[in-house]
Amino acid sequence: MEPLEYADELSDVLTKASVPQEARADLQKVARDYQLNYKGLVELESSTHLRVEPEVRGLHRIIIPYGGFTVNVWYYLIGEVAIIADAGPDAGSVITALKSQGVKEIVLLITHAHPDHVGGREELLAAFPSVSTSEPIEVIETVGHSTDHRCYHLPDRAICFCGDALFAGSMGRPNVGYEQSVASVQRLMSLPHETVLLPGHGPATTVGRERKLNCFYA
């Protein structure tokens, strides 16, 4: 499979965006974990992807290789319950990680139905009972990368699982339409400044950072 998950190459981002000169160094720093590809930015396998930046207590990330790029499966632990964003292309490493954390039940949130995000769903649901949660979760409709795309904002935790609607410094390729994808980015930018954004690919970022650096926010 071609690595097509990113909308633009870094050069496109810099030339198309009105990025202040003082902010360009930060944008290029974000891009150091990527290599340029004719279709966009492809994640390099590096130790930096084993960290969550910025760090959020209780939040964990599993990185799964898939067809030339990698996929994030994020989960937030509340006791023995894990709130999980997407199931990844397969659930083997997800199940292993959850069991090592003592997880007994899960709340599975699906951002969109692309195979790299839902391939492991049935296996994961077979391994853990799916339960409801009293944790406030705001569903944000973010059509653009897919017709069914949605993000999940946990306001009490200041985190948002944003799937492929937005990446650090970029956004997912606009399969449905460019205007719809940009509108979805704008919607996410209305979240509080300190909200940590947890994308389906690449590093974590924040709303405040993306307001400064993301060329699809104006």
Q: What is the pLDDT of residue 218?
A: 64
Q: β-pairing, 40-43 with 59-66?
A: unpaired
Q: Which two tokens stand for residue 33?
A: 């974990």
Q: Count CB-CB contacts under 10 A for residue 96.
A: 12
How confident is the model over 179-213, as pLDDT tens digits?
A: 899 899 999 999 999 999 999 988 898 999 888 87
Task: Kindly calculate the radius of gyration of the chain based on its CA atoms and give it in whole angstroms.
Answer: 16
Tokens, residue 163: 């799937």
pTM of the model: 0.78
d(CA 155, CA 57): 15
Distance CA 123, CA 120 (A): 5
10-213 has which fold? Metallo-beta-lactamase; Chain A (3.60.15)
Q: Give the per-residue pLDDT at 129.
A: 96
* pLDDT value of position 209: 86
Residue 53 is predicted with a pLDDT of 60
CA distance 119 to 70: 14
The predicted pLDDT at position 51 comes to 42
**What integer pLDDT is reported at residue 171 of this predicted model?**
86
Q: Lowest-confidence range among 22-31, 99-108, 143-152?
A: 22-31
Given a contact cutoff of 8 angstroms between Cβ atoms, the answer to whether 131 and 79 are in contact is no
Mean pLDDT of the chain: 81
Segment 119-173, tens digit of pLDDT = 999 999 999 999 999 999 999 999 999 999 999 999 999 999 999 999 887 888 8
Looking up tokens 């009972």, which residue turns up? 129
